[in-house]
Structures are given as C-alpha cells and as structure tokens.
Amino acid sequence: MTTESGVNGVTVSQQYDWGKTNPSIAIVEAVADLEGTEPAAIGVTLYDHIGVDALDGLLSNGRDVSVSFTLGEYHVRIDGDVLAVTGDESDRDVIK
C-alpha cells in the first residue's frame, strides 16, 4: 500500500485483484492504515454508508468499474483495480 500526503490530505492506495480480495475488506484496511490502528478499531462502519454485498459483487465480476463515495471523514475511490482512500492529515496518528 502506498501512502502520500497532498493538498487534499493523506491518501493510501493499492492495486487489487477483486476476485481474490473483497473491496469491503480492502477499504476497511485502508482506513485502518490512515488511522494508524487495527481494522477492528476504526472509527467508522462501512455498511452504514454503502451496500457492502452490492459493492463486493459489483467489483468481483471482472468488469472495469469506477466507484466513489464518502465514508465518514474519508473519500473512497475505486477505479478498476485501484483503491484510493483519502483522509484529513490532521486525523492521522502515524504517517508511514
């Protein structure tokens, strides 16, 4: 996973094979990386913001899909096989 600081905050991004990794799991792990914590301890619940089963199903079928949404204070963007999650740098405990 790569981490970048920019004008809009801190972004973590990584390329995935959605047939092997559920997008919902990847998003939670990216948010945990931004928060400097374990996935079980993140401060937001994914299924309160998007249909997790629909998201996983949409992306696991191999189609080239772009999805973006707000997850609490984070902006989530999936373009094909790349996930990028951006959060406010001031909310990040540890920048790697």
pLDDT at position 93 over 60: no
Residue 80: its pLDDT value, please?
Answer: 93
Whether residue 59 has pLDDT greater than 70:
yes
Region 52-57: mean pLDDT is 94
The total number of structural domains in the chain stands at 1
Runs of H (alpha helix) within 1-96: 23-35, 52-60
Q: Which two tokens stand for residue 83?
A: 């996930």
Is 18 within the bounds of a domain? yes
Decide if 96 is inside a domain.
no
> Could you give the percent of the chain with pLDDT greater than 70?
83
Q: Phi-psi bin for 91: left (phi > 0), alpha (psi -120 to 50), beta? A: alpha
**What is the rounded distance in angstroms from the CA atom of residue 4 to the CA atom of residue 50?**
25
Contacts with 2 (C-beta within 8 Å, 6 or more apart), sequence order: 12, 13, 14
Given this model, what pLDDT does residue 89 score?
56
User: Does the residue 49 lie in any domain?
Assistant: yes
For the cut 50, the answer to whether the pLDDT of residue 67 exceeds it is yes
* 13 inside domain: yes
Residue 7 located in a structural domain: yes
Q: Does a structural domain hold residue 45? A: yes
In terms of residue numbers, what domain contains 19?
A: 2-91
- Averaged pLDDT, 37-56: 92
SS3 label, residue 25: helix
